[in-house]
Amino acid sequence: MALQGTCRQIGEVAIIDFSGKITLGEGSATLRKTIREMAEGGQKKIVLNLADVDYIDSSGIGELVSGFTTVRSAAAEQTIIESTLVACESSVIYRRRTVGKVSVAAVAELMLYDAQNPRSLLYQLERLRADLKDLPGSSGSSRPERVVDEISTRLRRSVPAELEQVSANGRRAELEELLTAIHTELRDLAEAITATQLALPGDMQPLWGPDERRVVP
């Protein structure tokens, strides 16, 4: 189902009710356009209601996070940060840690580096590393395990405070470079896991026969 969004206003808060899937292509483009229009229109308080969103892939999350890489007005930047936290279900813990503070570095610390936060990338990478270790054929140096190590190393070599620095052209180059690289590596990781763990052995055929048009879920 294509992503659809309807907006309603409650006092100063604009609530956008989304339904469908937020995936690479039309879904992520709709999300990007909606957030941009609301932020540039001066709307300071926006809530994204994703209760009826069936699925959101890395490109959908990427659209939210990509708003950090370009400096905008304070109101627009706050809107994008809060929308990202809502989508990642991390608004409450963020407010507890940074009362009254809106900071790209603080969001990066929470969502990328915090090994104790189940929503953070580093936490999920550690869980994934443990799960890969328990899979048949695990050697500690399989392709999926190596990609996980590469992403973890990239994170640990970066510094949250530096991600907030703005270049002369008004962009957060360090943050943009980090997120782009991680996004590419996560796609590589998904492909590696599919190839090593989910592909059928060469001498086996699916139950429906050798129909190459069918795709194994």
Residues 77 and 114 in one domain: no
Residues 175 and 116 in one domain: yes
How much is the mean pLDDT over the chain?
A: 79
Residues 72 and 123 in one domain: no
Residues 185 and 116 in one domain: yes
Residues 63 and 117 in one domain: no
Question: Is residue 79 included in any domain, yes or no?
Answer: yes
pLDDT of residue 208: 61
pLDDT of residue 153: 92
- CATH number of the domain that residue 60 is part of: 3.30.750.24
Residues 24 and 72 in one domain: yes
Per-residue model confidence as pLDDT tens digits over 62-72: 666 665 555 45
Question: Is residue 207 included in any domain, yes or no?
Answer: no
Please, which pLDDT band fits residue 216 given cuts at 50, 70 and 90? Answer: very low
Provide Rg for the chain, Cα atoms. 20
Per-residue model confidence as pLDDT tens digits over 28-63: 788 778 877 776 777 767 777 877 888 877 667 766
28 neighbors 36 (Cβ within 8 angstroms):
no
Domain assignment of residue 3, given as a range = 1-87
Q: How many domains does the chain contain in total?
A: 2
